[in-house]
Amino acid sequence: MPLHQRIVWIPVQVGLVLRNWCKSMNLHAQFDVVQDFSDHYYRNNSPGKTTKEWAKAIQTEWNLLQKNLPESIYVRVYEERIDLLRAAIVGPAGTPYHDGLFFFDVRFPSDYPKCPPKVYYHSGGLRLNPNLYESGKVCLSLLNTWWGNGCEKWAKSNSTLLQVLVSIQGLVLNDKPYYNEPGNKNSAKTAVGEKNSLAYNQTAFILSCKTMLYSITNPPKHFETLVARHFSEREPVILEACGAYMSGTVVGSSARDGTKYASDKCFVNFMSSLAFYTEQLKATFALNRGRLLELERQAAASADEIVPAS
């Protein structure tokens, strides 16, 4: 149970101070309960007629997420709309999505858990993965939005939202997303397939950089500090990777000991695009550092507030 949920027994004036402190310190926690859902994609979708089983299933999901989230996935749930949830997923190392932040809005329909949750990807109008559409659609067997067999499909008895989030991170945001497209799987381990896969990764990384820029300048509610701090911490690594990729290192490889492209022709167009977005990132990262300082000052001020006794 989060600290801010454990202090309800404290006298009112002290409790309010501690609640403010907890919220200020918890802005980048992995799991938190928040209030404002005004920018949530599904905010206008009524949960409809629900049951005790529905509410109990969602509470079970909350408990599971709170206890078992990987360090690279963050979740916000809404106290007044338990049918809504938002998640931020960090792009895995060794992929063209490394160090990025990807946001998903979730809704538990009234027939949950008989049916899977609805998931919307904040794409910013970009298609950086075969499974993540510009429209926000997420293609995943576990969501019943793509074909699958047996345990690949949603099952009321043992499927969870945690599985969905981990699957997006591990199966969708993988090192060779080109082969996520069914029509491309047959070319795996062929010269043509590998060439196309390398090219796809280049494009995916450029789009991931554009997504970074968008996330920094337009952070979703309740993730403002997470976004600012994440990119402040990852800025050196991201820029180092950009430099390595511009010098011929294969996208997704380590900047220090990564594999090189066989020919300069493999990345000449990519290099010009990356040079442009590298400069965009540098400028935006500089602004982000200032934004983080301001957010931390606001958090400290909030923590120092003294609520007068009533």
Exactly one of 139, 151, 242, 266 is catalytic; name it. Answer: 139
Residue 139 bears catalytic tag: yes
Q: Residue 141: enclosing H or E segment and its boundaries?
A: none
Max CA separation in the chain (angstroms): 74
Exposure on the CB side of residue 190, measured as CA atoms within 13 A: 9
Q: How far apart, in Å, are the Cα atoms of 21 and each of 49, 286, 303?
A: 37, 28, 4
Place of tokens 């202090």: 7
DSSP-based three-state secondary structure for 147: coil
CB 172 within 8 A of CB 141: no
Measured CA to CA, the distance from residue 155 to residue 145 in angstroms comes to 14
59's enclosing H/E stretch is helix 52-68
CA distance 246 to 157: 48
What is 193-220 written as a DSSP string?
HHHHHHHHHHHHHHHHHHHHHHHHHSPP
Known catalytic residues are 139
